[in-house]
Amino acid sequence: AKVEEPKLASNRFSRMFTTASETVPKNRVEAMGTSTVGIANLAQSGVSGPFVKFVLDGVPMKMRAKIWLESAQSSIHYSPEDFSMLAAEYNSNPDDQRYLHDIEMDTPRTLTNNVYFRKEKNQDALALLLGCFAIRNKDIGYCQGFNIIAGYLLLAMPTTEQAFWVFCFLIEKVLPTSYFTAEHDWQGPRADTIVLRHYIQALMPRLGAHLDELDVLDEQTVPINWFLTAFASTLSVEALFRVWDVVLGIPGQNQQVFLLHVAIALLKLNEDELLKLDSSAAVYDYMDRKMARGVVTIDGLIQASSRLGPIVTAKSVEKRRAEAAKSL
């Protein structure tokens, strides 16, 4: 059966990107304190509405790590002693670990422009995090893009262990499991690029027609690293952490769909520049290297992405995702 979607005229969609974002008072949420936020109990406490607005308006740096960690620990299989056990297993016989070679190859290549990763001990922390995850999730192991995600989490979280738990949450619960089955030739993210192309045609018909004219394939609409890395390979660190505030910090939200909202918003913000390009190669290069240029304000990106919820719904995305996967 066809999934009906809310109709939205292109001009109304465009206005979403010019409406000034509202400032949301933070005192009500900050009053909960920074030692514990109570992520698991927000829905029952009646604070979930203000908390969502608080996150969308920008989580203060002093609260970010606590919010991400609480959200992770309330959502995944977690035991305080697990990380120590995994680290001991990793360190006891690392040569026996299936993914060690790939991890060792990628670790020195991670965020090379960041001074943090020029220190050997921090590269070791990255390798440890990735190795522990591969042991915990033997069916997933180590996949393309994990090092970039983990690298940014190490920058955001106070300890390697805390970064590990947030990484587990992002990979195990937020991103679709189909993203990390390499034997299926990255079917999951490729399917999502096809889904994204549908929404481009519906919401940005000029851009959709331009991509068709340049023979940009549906499954190559955007680089799959957009989805594989949850935008870590695309956005500035400030914009990235604001996106992750939403997908890691807001309980009960469909985080997978929000990432698609971000992709749509990014394309809209860059639409004028994309329409100037005259070849598929130029489009691929721009999307791979220059998309952050169109983000005039980070608030604008987040607010525009959040407003897509009633338009690009979880139900319609899941339906189209299943159809796209069958076509690959």
Q: What is the pLDDT of residues 180-189, one digit of tens each?
A: 875 657 888 9
pLDDT above 90 (res 9): no
Amino acid in the structure at residue 278: D
**pLDDT tier, 295 (very low <50, low <70, confident <90, very high otherwise):** confident
Q: What is the dihedral of CA 176, 180, 186, 189, to 10 degrees?
A: 30
- Give, as one character, the DSSP assignment of residue 232: T
Percent of the chain topping pLDDT 90: 58
- Give, as one character, the DSSP assignment of residue 173: I
**pLDDT tier, 256 (very low <50, low <70, confident <90, very high otherwise):** confident
Return d(Cα 175, Cα 65) in angstroms, integer.
Answer: 19
pLDDT above 60 (res 37): no
Return d(Cα 112, Cα 230) in angstroms, integer.
Answer: 19
Kindly report the number of other CB atoms within 10 A of residue 9's CB atom: 9
Residue from 273, 253, 265, 249 nearest 314 by CA:
253
- Of residues 251 and 263, more confidence is placed in 263
Q: What is the mean pLDDT of residues 293-297?
A: 73
pLDDT above 60 (res 106): yes
Return d(Cα 52, Cα 189) in angstroms, integer.
Answer: 27
Percent of the chain topping pLDDT 70: 81
Return d(Cα 78, Cα 206) in angstroms, integer.
Answer: 47
Contacts of 289 (CB under 8 A, 6+ apart): none
Predicted pLDDT of residue 40: 54
Return d(Cα 255, Cα 245) in angstroms, integer.
Answer: 10
Residue 128 sits at the vertex; the CA angle it makes with 127 and 130, to the nearest 5 degrees, is 65
For residue 264, what are its two tokens? 């749509």
Asked if 264 and 308 count as a contact pair (C-beta separation under 8 A), the reply is: yes
Q: What is the pLDDT of residues 197-243, one digit of tens each?
A: 999 999 999 999 999 999 999 999 999 999 999 999 999 999 999 99
Query: Which domains does the chain possess?
Result: 22-73 (no CATH), 82-174 (1.10.8.270), 180-327 (1.10.472.80)
What pTM does this model have?
Answer: 0.86
By mean pLDDT, which of 19-28, 122-131, 223-232, 271-280 is the weakest? 19-28
